[in-house]
Each structure stands twice: as structure tokens, then as C-alpha cells.
């Protein structure tokens, strides 16, 4: 079964090729979307490439797509359904990385690390601080999938009051193990000292974190987004940081790379990273391993894990 692997050129393609060719010898790796027509039955891609109808139509024998990432909003699901093509993602490989990134950003905000760094670099020596502890804070998690659960596990050791919202409520046993309590979105936004978003992007939740939601938040609370930029009304976020002192921790943007002249990057109360929360040496190794394993399952006639489309 022929496998086509479509990678962005900035990845270590040579190293990845060595690993892939040992396990999937009947595979071809390309780094240019203008690869022409192929007779491959399996396509492996990342979220860095838009997998639209144009690319799908160049693969007339395509039966299965494996996205080497948690998200798959770069894939034209309608085109896949029309052709009956299966789709899988890898939703668990970066859960530790993202959970740690969220905590790093939150602790940096609570401890005013960016401010102190800048002051010392400028030759100042601050004597006073309004730093706060994470212990005892109400931490709201929106989305209790693999990443949300991993974050909740880590928060157990910080002594937070952790509440969560998800379209699927956990069992009482799961809630007890994770030390969390279910709450509606209104309660999440109005009660939380810190809110972290961990949901996939869909047509239904585009910009669902709107001015209405930010208006509910406590003045000076912390908002973290490591999911997708399109979940948030960016203008409303900018206004909330300015008017309510919301402290933002942003890893994802509606346009990537974002406009460097955006008003967002002129805010003092914000920390930014380049959509890299889930990218660590360890997580990338897991992505490669789990992606190859899932493709092997399909090639061998087994049901792949994490099926998005049957």
C-alpha cells in the first residue's frame, strides 16, 4: 500500500525519512504541495499544510489520511466525506507539553517574571511586588479532553479549586480522581481567577469567546489560549486587557504568523508564544512514533486509533 507523506520543508525531513523508510519502505516524502497526481492510498500530513479539495483530487486512490497533530481543522472534511476517506489524528502526543506550557505562562503572570526581568535589564531593582500564588485560585478549564485532563492532574499539586466545562460531563469517579467540578460556561467565566481553553475549532464555536464572555471575567484575571486563535474574538480580548486588566497568555492566533503591527502586541499585560505549546523534543518524538504506528495499523488492515471520520 503506497503512502505519501507531505511535510513542510522546515521540519528535519532527512531525519524523519530515515525513521519512516525503516518502517514504511513503500512510502514517498514530499515537501512541495505541487506534487502532481499520485496513486497513493494513504496520505500523512501535518497541520502546517491545508489539505483541501485540490490536494485530495490529486490522489484518486486515497482511502486514509493521517494528520500528525492534535488538530485537524486544516482538512476539508466535506471533501473527505464525499469520497468516503477515513481520517485520524494524534490527540494525545502533546498533552504533557501543552499542560506544562500553560502552567509556565500562568506562573510567569502570577509571579510578574516578565516585569522583573525587564526592570533588572534596565538597571532597576524593584523592592515591592504584587506577585501571587497559584494555590487557592479558582482555575477554569474549558475542554476536558486529553490536554485538559493532563492540566487538571498537574493542578492537583498546586492546590487550586479547579472547575471545568465540556460538552461531555465526566463521571463522578473521574471528577474525584482529577479533583475537578463541572460548571457551566457562565460560572467558568465569572468565578475563575484563571481560564485555560482546550477545545477543537468547529463551525459552532468560532469566536465563541466574545466580548460577552470577557465582560464576565474578574478584573485582573488570567486568560490562556493554546488551542486555536479563531476561538477568540481578538478585538474583544484586546479591549478586555486594556479595560479590565485581564492578563493574557496567547500561543495561537487567527492568522499565523500574526501581523506584528497588531494592537495585540502592544499590550503590557500579555505573554506570547508562536503556536509552540505542544512542540517539545519529547512530543515530536511521540508524534512520529504514534503517527507511524497508526498508519501501520491501517496498512495491516486494522482499525486505526483516534478515528475522526470512520
Domains in the chain, start-ordered, CATH in brackets?
3-93+280-309 (3.40.50.720), 95-272 (3.40.50.720)
**Residue 258's pLDDT is what?**
96
275 as an active site residue: the answer is yes
Q: How do residues 97-155 score in pLDDT, each as one tens digit?
A: 999 999 999 999 999 999 999 999 999 999 888 999 999 999 999 999 999 999 999 99
Mean pLDDT of all residues belonging to the chain: 94
Which residue of the set 15, 54, 133, 256 is catalytic? Answer: 256
The pTM for the full model equals 0.90
**Residue 10's pLDDT is what?**
85
Count of other CB atoms within 10 angstroms of residue 82: 11
Give me the residues of the chain with pLDDT under 70, please: none
Collapse the DSSP code of 219 into the 3-class scheme (helix H, G, I; strand E, B; otherwise coil) and give the result. Answer: coil
Which residue of the set 228, 230, 234, 290 is catalytic? Answer: 228
DSSP string, 92-152: STTHHHHHHHHHHHHHHHHTTHHHHHHHHHTT----------STT-EEEEE--SHHHHHHH
**Residue 23's pLDDT is what?**
85
Cell of 34: 505541487
CA atoms within 13 A on the CB side of 9: 3
* Alpha-carbon 226 to chain mean position: 5
Query: Alpha-carbon distance 28 to 89, whole Å?
Result: 20
Count of other CB atoms within 10 angstroms of residue 192: 26
Measured CA distances, 193 to 9, 148, 167, 187, 221 (Å) = 41, 17, 22, 11, 5
Collapse the DSSP code of 153 into the 3-class scheme (helix H, G, I; strand E, B; otherwise coil) and give the result. Answer: helix
Amino acid at each position: 500500500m503506497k503512502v505519501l507523506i507531505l511535510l513542510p520543508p522546515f521540519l528535519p525531513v532527512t531525519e524523519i525519512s530515515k525513521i519512516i523508510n525503516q518502517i514504511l519502505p513503500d512510502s514517498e516524502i514530499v515537501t512541495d504541495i505541487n506534487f502532481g497526481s499520485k496513486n497513493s492510498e494513504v496520505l500523512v500530513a501535518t497541520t502546517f499544510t491545508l489539505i483541501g479539495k485540490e490536494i485530495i483530487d490529486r490522489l484518486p486512490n486515497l482511502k486514509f489520511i493521517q494528520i500528525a497533530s492534535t488538530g485537524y481543522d486544516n482538512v476539508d472534511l466535506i471533501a473527505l466525506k464525499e469520497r468516503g476517506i477515513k481520517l485520524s489524528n494524534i490527540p494525545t502526543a502533546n498533552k504533557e507539553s501543552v499542560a506544562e506550557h500553560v502552567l509556565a505562562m500562568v506562573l510567569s503572570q502570577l509571579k510578574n517574571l516578565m516585569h522583573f526581568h525587564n526592570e533588572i535589564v534596565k538597571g532597576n531593582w524593584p523592592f515591592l511586588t504584587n506577585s501571587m500564588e497559584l494555590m487557592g485560585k479558582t482555575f477554569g478549564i474549558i475542554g476536558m479532553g486529553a490536554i485538559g485532563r493532563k492540566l487538571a492532574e498537574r493542578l492537583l499539586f498546586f492546590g487550586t479549586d479547579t472547575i471545568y466545562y465540556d460538552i461531555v460531563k465526566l463521571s463522578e469517579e473521574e471528577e474525584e480522581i482529577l479533583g475537578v467540578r463541572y460548571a457551566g460556561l457562565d460560572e467558568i467565566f465569572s468565578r475563575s481567577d484563571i481560564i485555560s481553553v482546550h477545545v477543537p475549532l468547529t463551525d459552532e464555536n468560532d469566536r465563541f469567546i466574545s466580548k460577552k464572555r470577557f465582560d464576565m471575567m474578574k478584573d485582573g484575571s488570567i486568560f490562556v489560549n493554546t488551542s486555536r486563535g479563531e476561538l477568540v474574538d481578538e478585538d474583544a480580548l484586546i479591549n478586555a486587557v486594556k479595560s479590565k486588566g485581564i492578563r493574557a497568555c496567547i500561543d495561537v492566533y487567527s492568522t499565523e504568523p500574526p501581523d506584528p503591527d497588531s494592537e495585540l502586541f502592544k499590550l503590557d499585560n500579555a505573554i506570547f508564544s508562536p503556536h509552540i505549546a505542544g512542540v517539545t523534543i519529547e512530543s515530536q518524538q511521540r508524534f512520529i512514533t504514534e503517527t507511524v504506528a497508526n498508519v501501520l495499523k491501517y496498512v495491516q488492515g486494522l482499525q486505526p486509533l483516534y478515528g475522526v471520520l470512520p
